[in-house]
Structure 1
Amino acid sequence: MQQGESVAKNIKRILNGESTEEFEYVDRGTVCSLGSHDGVGMVFGKPIAGKKAAFMKKVIDTRAVFKIGGIGLAFKKVNSRL
């Protein structure tokens, strides 16, 4: 997500005749779901597992959908799970 946002902004800057900005990765962690109620991960340097990790993965996925398609698409994603 981070790099994609940076690329999009830089393309816009190029089209506007502006200089590009260097991409800087910010490591907030990694989360992996292992089914719908289990997962593992590292968030801000702290290990998480089980239901907390699975929930965090769902939050991350929903945030990504929100950033791409807005609140309507995010609600559709959440409601499709219910």
Structure 2
Amino acid sequence: MQQGESVAKNIKRILNGESTEEFEYVDRGTVCSLGSHDGVGMVFGKPIAGKKAAFMKKVIDTRAVFKIGGIGLAFKKGKF
């Protein structure tokens, strides 16, 4: 998602005759769901597991849908 946003901004900058900006990845962590009520992950350097990790994965997925299509799509396709 981060890289996609950077690409979109740089395409706009190119079309406006401006110079592009370098992409810098920010690692906020990784989360993996293991079924609907279990998961594992590392968020901001802290390990999480179980229901907390599964919930965090749903939050991440719903946020991605929101960023793509807004609140309407998030309510329609969100994980909650």
TM-score tier, shorter chain, comes to over 0.9
Tell me, which stretches of 5 or more residues in structure 2 are unaligned?
A: none
How many residues matched? 80
SS of match in other structure, 1:41: strand
Seq. identity, %: 96
Runs of 4 or more consecutive aligned structure 1 residues displaced over 2 Å after TM superposition: none
Are 2:41 and 2:48, in contact at CA under 8 Å, matched by a contact in 1?
Answer: yes
**38 and 69 in structure 1: CA distance in 2 versus 1, 3 angstrom threshold:** same
Question: Unmatched 5+ residue regions in structure 1?
Answer: none
Q: Secondary structure at the match of 2:48?
A: strand
Deviation at 1:62, TM superposition (A): 0.3
- Tell me if the contact between 2:29 and 2:45 (Cα under 8 Å) persists in the aligned partners: yes
Separation in structure 2 between the aligned mates of residue 21 and residue 36 of structure 1, nearest angstrom: 39
Counterpart CA distance in 2 for 1:36 and 1:64 is: 18
Q: How far is the alpha carbon of 1:39 from its aligned partner? A: 0.5
Alignment check: 8 A CA contact 2:38 2:50 kept: yes
| 2:37 alignment partner, SS class | coil
The TM-score, its normalising length taken from structure 2, stands at: 0.95
Using the TM superposition, give the Cα deviation of residue 16 of structure 1 relative to its aligned residue in structure 2, in angstroms: 0.8
Alignment TM-score, normalising by the size of structure 1: 0.93
**RMSD of the TM alignment (CA)?**
1.2
Alpha-carbon distance, 1:81 to partner: 5.3
1:34/1:12 Cα in 2 relative to 1: closer, same or farther (>3 Å)?
Answer: same
